[in-house]
Amino acid sequence: MFSIKMRSSKGGPHEKGGRHISGIERIVNEDEVESEIINAYRRARMHERGDSDFINIKVEKVKESDIIYKNKLNIKQHHVESKEEGLALSSEILQSAGVSEKACEIAIQSILNLTESMHGAMLIDKDTGERLDERGMKGVRVTGISSADINDYRKALENNIDCGIHLEEALILASKVTSARGVTAELCWSDDPNYLIGYVAANDNYERIPIMKDKGNPIGGRVFLVDTDQFDEDYTLEDLIEYLEEQVVLIK
């Protein structure tokens, strides 16, 4: 199989201060590589967050023996009337997953306080609320993800409301992230200005919350709530980050 990764930004590359526009990864059979390269390019050029002027498309061969498979989380659809209700609900769900009230507040505020979107996620201690990664605005970028079979996967999702590319990709990412030893939960909402949906992923569930921000707001982000008690001499924060960034995980 081959991994096709795209990241795009405006105002130059991310590492030279460009603003993140979009990113995508697909792991596909060789016969699908060409069409995925075109999809990735189109997505970068026609994104509601803006007109990318830097597009990086990387194609890499993936060895079958490097792939592991995980199941997708169960989708639980919630209903809220406002972003205030949505944010409060996310905190409730995080706390019932074992995240402290303080860490919940810090996690939510960390996304609310962003002045621009990050390319990756913030790792925050689920008990103390302390930021654990030292990646600043770059954050930890999860890669090595795809559905195991895009047609089966899409079929399984088709009855959800607002079913589309956002749900498809976020569920794959959240299913990998929460499969990592040491990750208790993930909190996310979209940085696409007109996409207000977010979620909390924990305990095999993807709890989908329809309103997490105001319409038109181009800021969103991801926080992974980390249980540092899971770390020892043989499994450290660096190992967790390596799993998130490198391990190839296909979602069934």
Q: Restricting to residues 185-224, which ones interact with ligand PML according to CB under 6 A?
A: 188, 190-192, 197-199, 208, 220
Q: Which residues pair with 23 in a beta bridge?
A: 7
Residue 90, SS3 per DSSP: helix
Q: Restricting to residues 64-103, which ones interact with ligand PML according to CB under 6 A?
A: none
166 binds ligand PML (CB under 6 A): yes
- Count the Cβ atoms, other than its own, within 10 Å of residue 246: 11
Q: Minimum distance from CB of 24 to ligand PML (Å)?
A: 10
Token couple for 93:
């769900």
Tally of helices (H runs) and strands (E runs) in the chain: 6, 12
Among 6, 40, 145, 170, binds ligand PML (CB under 6 A): 170
Residue 199's binding partner among Mg ion, ligand PML, none (Cβ under 5 to 8 angstroms by kind) is ligand PML
The angle subtended at Cα 215 by Cα 13 and Cα 157, nearest 5°, is: 80
Q: How far is CA 245 from CA 17, 23, 32, in A?
A: 21, 14, 23
Rounded Cα distance between 44 and 49, Å, is 10
Q: Is 89 exposed, middle or buried (0-12, 13-18, 19+ CB in 10 A)?
A: buried
Residue 188's binding partner among Mg ion, ligand PML, none (Cβ under 5 to 8 angstroms by kind) is ligand PML
Window contacting ligand PML (CB under 6 A); options: 31-39, 55-63, 141-149, 162-170 = 162-170
Token couple for 208:
């989908």
Q: Which residues pair with 15 in a beta bridge?
A: none
Site string for ligand PML, 28-67 (x = CB under 6 A): ----------------------------------------
Q: Which is nearer to ligand PML, 132 or 171 (CB)?
A: 171
Q: Which is nearer to ligand PML, 1 or 187 (CB)?
A: 187
Q: Restricting to residues 174-233, which ones interact with Mg ion according to CB under 5 A?
A: 191-192
Binding site for Mg ion (CB under 5 A): 191-192
Binding site for ligand PML (CB under 6 A): 162, 166-167, 169-170, 188, 190-192, 197-199, 208, 220
